[in-house]
Amino acid sequence: MSVDVLVIGWGKGGKTLAGALGRAGEQVAVVERSPQMYGGTCINIACVPTKALVVQAEKKRESDDAATWFAASVTKRDALTAKLRARNHAMLDEVDTVTLIDGTARFVGPHEVEVTGGDDVLRVTAETVVINTGTEPARPPIPGVDGPRVLDSTQIQHVDPFPRRLVVVGGGFIGLEFAGMFARFGSEVTVLEQGERLLPGEDADVARVVEQTMTDAGVTFRFGAGASSFDDDGAQVTVAVDGGDDLVADAVLLATGRTPVTKDLGLDVAGVDTDERGFVRVDDHLRTSVDGVYAVGDVNGGPQFTYISLDDNRVVMSALTGDGSRTTKDRVAVPTTTFITPPFARVGLNVTQAREQGRPVKVASKAVADIAAMPRPKIVEETHGVIGFVVDAETDEVLGATLFCVDAQELINLVALAMRAGVTATQLRDGIWTHPSSTEALNEVLAGLKPLA
C-alpha cells in the first residue's frame, strides 16, 4: 500500500492529523496494534478513565461497601471508555481517504513499514510518516516486580479483588492521583517516596498543604523510602522497604514513570535517532533525523499531556499544509493539573523559582478555608487547599499561579489565558465574576499582593 501520510499509533496528535489531512483529500493510513486503544491512551487507560474513577471515589459514602462500590465504578469506567473508543474509531473510519489498519508496525526503511496482524503482513510506504506510539508504564528492575499483585497504572484500574491494603511506589503525580483515589474507595494506602517530601519542584509550604490534605483523606506517606523487593506468598505481597520496616499489602502500584513505546519499531533501520531512554529526538518543528518523518505526543520526550499532543498536531499541520512557522517554542503559560482531591493546578513560576531568578515580584497566598469571597468550597464541603500568585512588581504581569482548590482544573485555564493575553493582576483582581464561583478567589487573593521578602 502506498499513501501520502502514514500515522503509527492512535494518540491525540496522530488521530487529529489523520482526520484533518484525510478530510483535505490526502491518502492517510493509521496503524494501531490494539483495538482496545482506538482513540489513544487518554480515553482508554489514562486521563478519562482514571478521572472517572476519581469522581466515583469522591461520591462514595462511609456506609458503602468498598469492594462493591469499586466494582460498580469500574463498570461505569468501562462503559465510558467503550463509548469513547467506538466514537473515535468512527470519526476516522467515516473519512473515505483514511485507511485504518490493525497490526504492529515496524520500519523496514525510512518511509516504509511492515505491519503484522496475525499471519498477515502488509507493507506501507508513505511520503510523510508520523510516529505517535506514546508511552507505557515503566517497570523498574526490582526482585519480584513481575508478581501477580504488583500492578502498573493500567492494571490497577481493574484490580480484583479490591485491595484493602495498597502500597504505592512513587509519590509523583500518577502515584498521588491513585493514592487519593483508592483511599477514598476505602483502601489503607501507604505511599513510598524516595525524596524527603512531596512535589520537590513546588514551594515547600504548598507541598506541606498537599501532604496534609492527603493525610486527612487517609493516605500514609513514608519519605526517603523505596521498595527493594516484592515477595508474593499467594495471599498477599510483602514489600521490603529501603531504610524501614517491611509492608504487607494486598496489591502494589508501581508509579515509577513511563517509558516510550519505541523498542520494537525498527527506528534504527529507518535512521530515526532516539535518546538514551528511547524517546524519539525531534527539533522544534517535531522533525526527526529523517526528512519527512515526524514524532508527536509522548513518544517525542516532551511534556506527557494530551493537550500537548494536540498542539503537536498543530505544529506538524503547519509544516505540512501551512507556512511551517509554528513550533514548540510558541507554547507560553502551559498549565498542568494533578487530579487529587481537590485538584492541584499550576502555571508559570512559583515563589521558589521567582526567588531563584532574582526578579522583582509581588506574591500573594491564602488558605482556601480563609477566603471569605470564595464560598463555593464551603458549599461543596471541600475547603482544603491554598491559592497563590506570583506577579511582576514593575509591570503587574502575572508570572505564575498555584491553585490547590475546588475547580482548579478550570480556573487554571483562565489564569493561563490571562498570562498569554497580557491581562494584568489588577484586572483579574477587579474582575466581575459569577457568584458563587471559585473564580471569585481572584478578587480576594490578588488584593493581598506584597513584595517578595
> Which residue ranges are tagged as binding site?
51, 170-177, 193, 257, 298
Residue type, 147: G
**C-beta neighbour count of 450 within 10 angstroms:** 10
C-alpha cell at 11: 494518540
Please list, in sequence order, all residues whose beta carbon lies within 8 angstroms of the beta carbon of residue 9, skipping any fewer than 6 positions away.
31, 32, 40, 131, 132, 133, 134, 261, 297, 299
> Which residue among the candidates 111, 158, 384, 435 is catalytic per the annotation?
435
Angle between helix axes 47-59 and 173-185 (nearest 10 degrees) is 30
**b/e map of 86-105 (b: 16 or more CB within 10 Å)?**
eebbebbeebebbbbbebbb
DSSP code, position 297: G
Binding residues for NAD(+): 170-177, 193, 257
Identify whether 111 is a catalytic site residue. Answer: no
Please list, in sequence order, all residues whose beta carbon lies within 8 angstroms of the beta carbon of residue 278, skipping any fewer than 6 positions away.
259, 260, 262, 263
Residue pair 216/384 in contact by the 8 Å Cβ criterion: yes
Instruction: Give the residue carrying C-alpha cell 471508555.
Output: 81
Residue type, 49: P
Q: Cα(402)–Cα(390) distance, rounded to whole angstroms?
A: 9
Binding residues for FAD: 51, 298
Positions marked catalytic = 435
